Structure formats: structure tokens, C-alpha cells
Structure 1
Amino acid sequence: MDQTRLRELLEKLASDRITAEELHRLMQAVQDDTYTEELDQALRRFQDLPIIPHLDDQEQSLKSYQQITSDKRFLQARKQKRLYLTWVAASLALILVGALLYQRLSSPREHLRNAFTTTWTAPLGEQRQIELPDGTSVWLNAGSRLDIPRNYNDNDRRVVLAGEAYFDVQSNKQKPFTVETGSLITKVLGTAFNINSFDASHIAVTVRQGKIAVQHQAETVSLLTANQQLIYNVHTNHKQVHDVNATAMIAWIHQRLRFDNISMADAGKALERWSNKTFIYRNDAIRGCHFTVSFHEGENLREMLNVISALNNFKYEIKNDTVYLDGNGCE
């Protein structure tokens, strides 16, 4: 791991964008004798990180850094590798925590968050359309979140997605558009595509037009063109690419729901997000029923369940915010 990568991980840690995998790598580097020199350089240049100029008092954070690195114990520890590594880890933690804590105490917590990102959310039962500063349009599905860094569109265009969103990206060859979804990174110049990460074990990337590259740990997983979909298993790294009707796959942005050979368990999750209700299965056999059906804009939950229950041989009851499913199911 070189100094550039270390600094990148420090930036992500400081701005609360680091993934569990990246944090594990950073901690390994802190404890590994191999990276002693790189950590020393990265630590000594920590004051150059973008997070520092945005603190209310830059001198306060730099003072913390200088106190640590000028401490006699720190200088002595450099001569003893084991103690030195301990001090590197401690210094890193003190600088990060101290700088962030200082701003938390000196300004509202929400101000700290907004200094780094703008966060858009779509509550359960709702969808949201967003226009980014560069003209890119984003549709957030119910129960989703999109983080936009403060430096968006400065040198590049990077966003972080949790949930599902459809992107219609404004073309700009000088500034690629990047979506981080868990451990996957989707890069484009100008195109329209959908990412679904609701499933904890799989991420689905679907292209409606244009071409995109999907990466994992800086390695290209797949190149996708119009009407292609990637299903990526985040646990096994197994991938599947197949042709789809992309227009049908993104029907949700027009308030239409389409279920294509889907299990009732997965359809139920989608309906829970769409309706903001909880589904209770009184017979687990119902969960395994598969079906295909489309619903148009304006159809309500009861109308949808009338069709789905008839297809899968079950009955339903809606009580307040809960939907109870009972019956023999498709067995």
C-alpha cells in the first residue's frame, strides 16, 4: 500500500466514507511493519487532508497534530519500531477524533455533516427526484439514500448510494460520474442506468442507454451496454450478466411496479417499501411463490394484492400498518 492509498483511506475515515473493508485494510497497515515509512509520511502530511480546512478552527487541529509529533515520547518511539507503530495508531486516532470532536463541540452536529456531504433520502412509501449541480437527474426509490460530497463536480462527480436509484447522467468526458454502492463502483461518462442494492447479498446494475464500467477493488468486474444487467454477489464475488428489458426494469420511476418471475418474499419487501407497511406471513410457504405481473400508475396496495393473492392462492388482511398473508400458497 503506497502513501497515496494511505492518504485516500485517511480522507475516507475522516469524512465518514470508509467501508468496513477499507477500514480493515487501514488498520492492517497501521499494525504492519512494512508500511512504517509510508504511515510516517502520511501522518506528517495529515494537515493537508481536505477535512482540515473545513473545520471552524484550522489552527486548533494543527496544534493537536504538532503537539503529538513534537512529543519526546513520539520522537523516541520512532527509534523503536513497536512503540513507534503504537504511537502512529494513537496519533492517527487522536488527530482524527480530536479534530472532528472539536468541530462537534464548536458547532451544531448537522453543520459538521453538511460540511462533508449533502444527503438526500426517500422515506418508505415515497420516491424522490433530484437534480444534481451538473444537470444529472436522479430518481431515489422508497427507503433509499444518496450522499453527495461537498466537492462534487469540482474534479469529478462521485456519489454514494444505499438502496435503489435511477441515474440519467449529464455527459462530461472530463469528469466521469461514479456511484459507490457498498464495495462496487460504477463509472460512466454520460448514460442512464439503475442500481439496486436493497438485497444485502446482491447488487443489480442495469443499463438503459450508453455504456458503464463496474469495478470492485479497482478491478473491472463487467462492462455493460444498453439492456444489460449485472447481478453481483458481494459475499462470493460471483457475477451474472444477462439481457433484460431495461425500460421495464425502471418502471418504478413512473410509479409503476413490475414483478418478473419474482418470489413473494422479494415482492413483499418491495411492496413494504412502496406502501410503508409491514408484511406478516402466517404461512411461510407463501414466501416461495413465484409470479410475473405489472401494475400501472395509480393502482393502490389493495388492488395489487387482489391480483397477487389470486395468482398465488393466499388471502390477505390489512390492519393499520400491517398486511397479514395467510392460506395454502402455491404449494
Structure 2
Amino acid sequence: MTKEQLADLTAKYLDGTATATERKLLEQWYYSFEGRELVVELPEGEEEHELAGRMKAKIDERKAEGSRRKRIVMQVRPYRMAAAIFLVVTAALLSVFFSSRQVYNAQQQPRFVVLKDGSKVWLNSATKLVYTDFPFMGERRLSLTGEAYFDVARNPDKPFIIQSGTMETQVLGTAFNIKAYPGEPFAITVTNGKIKLEDKKTKTVTFLTPNKQVKYANQQPPVLVAVKADVAYAWTKGQLEFSDQSFGEIARTINRKYNVNIVFANKSLEQCMITATFEKESSVSRVMELLCKINNATYTFSADSSTITLDGKGCQ
């Protein structure tokens, strides 16, 4: 580096206009003397001791600033490592969570699914099922809204637990139907095996065996009855089977199956109790015709066929 270049670089360094590369070059040159005599051609008007003092102060200041940055980096680095570890662990947990969690929905039509553990499930219309089977937990946990028929793969080491509102059903390996639509009576019917049903709100526990049904309706105490279990899951074959059910409850079932709204002009009709069976191919008109015939009622379709209005004296 010539004297002219050095003088120019020194002036830029002192007035703060030097680039990072130029600053580094001058600092390396300054420290290369290691106590030997340092001779610099002064910019005009500068005294030697003033220049030396200013350069030394400036370079020492930058050196101190660099040391502070190093200390800060050394302090921050462990936190960066902890943050990186946290992100890796979080990503791993999320991966496990999503790979262990399955969500199934049935809209207008029933749907058949096989869960990760091999259990078979039939979902009725307007039903949502969330299945979670974490490898580090000792249970298979599900959340059900709607209606489903379960044929559970047996695993004594991992109970099969279904949450439906305040109701919790626990099994090891069995077959049963759960009806848990919001705003409607809750009912569970066992085909084979044994289940434990607990109402978390009242702490009521019921054990059910084949051809037994328990029903919760209108905030009344649960009713346990003997039934033909195949009636409860006839819907899985496309059939409609009603056993001592109210017209109002049946109307909601028809709404889900045929996507038609039912309005009771005579509200007392809703309380009529009905036992009836309809084949898979039965049209909504055929179903309504027979239901109205046995309940002394009439029905009419709206202009766009989206609504059925029921009227008449009813069962009285």
C-alpha cells in the first residue's frame, strides 16, 4: 500500500466513510507493527500525535465493540440451540400427532371406514369421528358426533374409548351402535361383547351386554331395555327400522337420509310412537305415506320438494 493510499484510507477511516473491507485492511496493517515505529503521512493540518491518538482510539473502540458482539453471540448461542431443539421436538410431536389422528366425516350418505388399529366403523349421515391412537398412550381414544356402528379390533392392552358429549363408552373388543346426534336422545345398543358406559356429568355407570340398549332422553334417568340389536344398525344396510320411536325422532332420521326438511303443523304428532320397517329402495314419498297412514296424519311437499309439512289429528 503506497503512502498516498494509506493517507487516503486513514482519512476515510477517521471520518467514518471507509467500507468494511477498507476498515479491515487498515486495522490489519495497524496491528502488523506490533510495537515497531509506525510512520504515516499525515493529512493536511494533522499533527502526528493527534493522528496516532485518534487512530488508536478508533481501532480500540472497534476492537472492544467486536469483543462485546462475541460475548453477546456466546450468550445467545445456547438459547438458539435450545430454540432449535424445541422446534425439532415440536415438529416431531406434531408429526406423531397428525400421523396418529384420523378424522372421518359422512355427509349425506353413510360411510364405511377401517381405523388404523383394524377396527371397522360405519358412519351414518351427518356424522363426524375423530380417532387418536398415540404410540406412547395406553388407549385408543375417539370423539363421535352423530351415529356409528363399531366392530372393534380386540386389544386388551389398549382400551377403545369413545367420547360423545358427556357420555364415555369403553370397550376392549366388541360390536355396538351409538347414536349421539346433538339435540337428540343418546342411545347405545350392543350386538356382542360387553361395554362400559359412563355419564361423566352424573357419574352414572352402566354395563351393557348383547341385545341391551340404554337410552338417555330429555334429561330423564337412563332407560335400559332388551332389544333386537340388529334393528339399531339396520341403517348400515340402507334400511329404515324404527322400534317404538317418536315421530319427531323418526322425522330427523328421514331428514338425514333423504335431505328433506320436515315441519309439524300439528306439534302433537311429534309424540306419536312408531314401530315400522322400510326397505333400502323405499322412496321418501312411500315412507311418508305409510307413516302418516298409521298415525292418522297427512303430508304435503313444498313446490321445490325440499320441505314436507305434516298435519292431522295424529295418534291422540
Q: Distance in 1 between matches of 2:135 and 2:161?
A: 10
The equivalent of 1:260 in structure 2 is 243
The aligned runs of 1:310-329 (5 Å cut-off) are 310-318=293-301, 319-329=304-314
Q: 1:140 aligns with which of 109, 117, 123?
A: 123
> Which string of whole-angstrom CA distances, capped at 9 and with x for unpartnered residues, describes residues 33-87 of structure 1?
xxxxxxxxxxxxxxxxxxxxxxx9874699xxxxxxxxxxxxxxxxxxxxxxxxx
The aligned runs of 1:1-331 (5 Å cut-off) are 59=86, 117-123=101-107, 125-149=108-132, 151=134, 155-198=138-181, 200=183, 202-217=185-200, 221-232=205-216, 235=219, 238-318=221-301, 319-331=304-316
2:269 is paired with a residue whose SS is helix
1:135 is paired with a residue whose SS is coil
Taking a change above 3 Å as real, the CA distance of residues 152 and 146 of structure 1, as seen in their structure-2 partners, is farther
TM normalised by structure 2 equals 0.64
Q: Distance in 2 between matches of 1:242 and 1:152?
A: 38
1:163 is paired with a residue whose SS is strand
Q: If you compute each CA radius of gyration, which structure gives the higher value, 1 or 2?
A: 2
> Which string of whole-angstrom CA distances, capped at 9 and with x for unpartnered residues, describes residues 245-288 of structure 1?
11112111111111122221111111111111111122223222
2:307 partner amino acid: T
Q: Distance in 2 between matches of 1:288 and 1:233?
A: 13
Taking a change above 3 Å as real, the CA distance of residues 152 and 312 of structure 1, as seen in their structure-2 partners, is farther
Taking a change above 3 Å as real, the CA distance of residues 278 and 233 of structure 1, as seen in their structure-2 partners, is closer
Give the root-mean-square deviation of aligned CA atoms: 3.1
Q: Distance in 2 between matches of 1:203 and 1:148?
A: 20
> Which string of whole-angstrom CA distances, capped at 9 and with x for unpartnered residues, describes residues 75-129 of structure 1?
xxxxxxxxxxxxxxxxxxxxxxxx9xxx9xxxxxxx9x95784321111x31111
- Percent identity, aligned pairs only, is 30
The count of corresponding residues between Structure 1 and Structure 2 is: 228
The equivalent of 2:9 in structure 1 is none
Deviation of 1:323 after TM superposition, in Å, equals 1.3
Checking the alignment, whether the CA contact within 8 Å between 2:231 and 2:242 is kept in structure 1 is no
Q: Distance in 1 between matches of 2:253 and 2:84?
A: 46
Consecutive unaligned residues in structure 2, runs of 5 or more: 1-82
1:126 partner amino acid: Q
2:281 is paired with a residue whose SS is coil
Deviation of 1:200 after TM superposition, in Å, equals 2.9
Q: Distance in 2 between matches of 1:269 and 1:184?
A: 21
Consecutive unaligned residues in structure 1, runs of 5 or more: 1-55, 63-98, 104-110
Q: Distance in 2 between matches of 1:312 and 1:232?
A: 25
